[in-house]
A and B are shown apart, each in its own frame.
Chain A
C-alpha cells in the first residue's frame, strides 16, 4: 500500500509570507495528489489537486508542484493571510491508482500571525 510522509508537522509564518508544505509518497504508480484544508471542527476541504501528467498547478495564491522522479509533491501558499491558518493534509491513492481511496499524511498545522 501507499505510504505518505508530510513535513513539517507545524509551520508558523507572518502574514504576507509564503508557506511550503512537502509530502513524499512510496508508490511510483500513484497518479493523483490532492491537498485538503481542515479548520478546527470542520470537514477536510479539497483546495487543490494535481495529476501525475502535470508538474505544477496554480489557483490564485496556492500552487502544487509534483516531482515524480523523487516521489514528492509540495503545497505553496503565497501572501498568507490569517484565514489560511488550519491543518493541511496531503494524500495519495492507496494501491497506486485506486480511485477515491486515499492515504493521508499526518497533517501540518499552519499558523499565520497578523
Chain B
C-alpha cells in the first residue's frame, strides 16, 4: 500500500523566485491538503484540493496556489518567495468525506 509521497525532499531558493512542490496521495485517497510547518510550530493549513478544485483555504496570501490532477496528485506553487516562506511543507491525503489525514515526509524549503 503506497503511502503519501512528496518531492523534492529539500529545496534551496532565492528571494523572489518561484517554487513548485509535488505530492502523491495515499492509494485510494482523493483529497490533498497542504500545510506549512515553521520550525518549532505545528502545521498550518494552506489549502485543500478535491476534484481538482480548491475546496477551502487558510490564511495564506495569493502567492500560494495549487493544482490537483485527475490522478489526485497535487502541486503547491509559491511565487515571489520571501525569507519567511522557509519551512517544511507537508501534504496530507484523505478521503473527501473522511476525517483521517496521513502526511507525506515533507519538502524542506529554504529561502536565502
Q: Total number of A-B contacts with CB less than 8 angstroms?
A: 66
Name the residue of chain A whose CB is nearest to the CB of B55.
A101
Instruction: Classify chain B's interface size.
Output: 20 to 34
Tell me which residues from 12 to 44 in chain A have a Cβ below 8 Å from any Cβ of chain B: 32, 34, 36, 42-44
Knowing A43-B106, A46-B102, A94-B58 touch, does A101 contact B42 (C-beta < 8 A)?
no
User: Do A44 and B99 touch (CB < 8 A)?
Assistant: no
Interface residue? A81 (CB, 8 A): no
User: Do A104 and B44 touch (CB < 8 A)?
Assistant: yes
User: Do A34 and B101 touch (CB < 8 A)?
Assistant: yes
User: Do A102 and B45 touch (CB < 8 A)?
Assistant: yes
Distance (whole angstroms) from the CB of A10 to the closest CB of chain B: 11
Distance (whole angstroms) from the CB of B61 to the closest CB of chain A: 17
User: Do B101 and A42 touch (CB < 8 A)?
Assistant: no
Complex CA gap A94/B45 in Å reads: 9
Complex CA gap A100/B93 in Å reads: 8
Tell me which residues from 71 to 111 in chain B have a Cβ below 8 Å from any Cβ of chain A: 90, 92, 94, 96-106
Task: List residues of chain B with CB under 8 Å of any chain A CB.
Answer: 4, 31, 33, 40-45, 48, 56, 58, 90, 92, 94, 96-106
Task: List residues of chain A with CB under 8 Å of any chain B CB.
Answer: 6, 32, 34, 36, 42-46, 49, 51, 89, 91, 93-95, 98-107
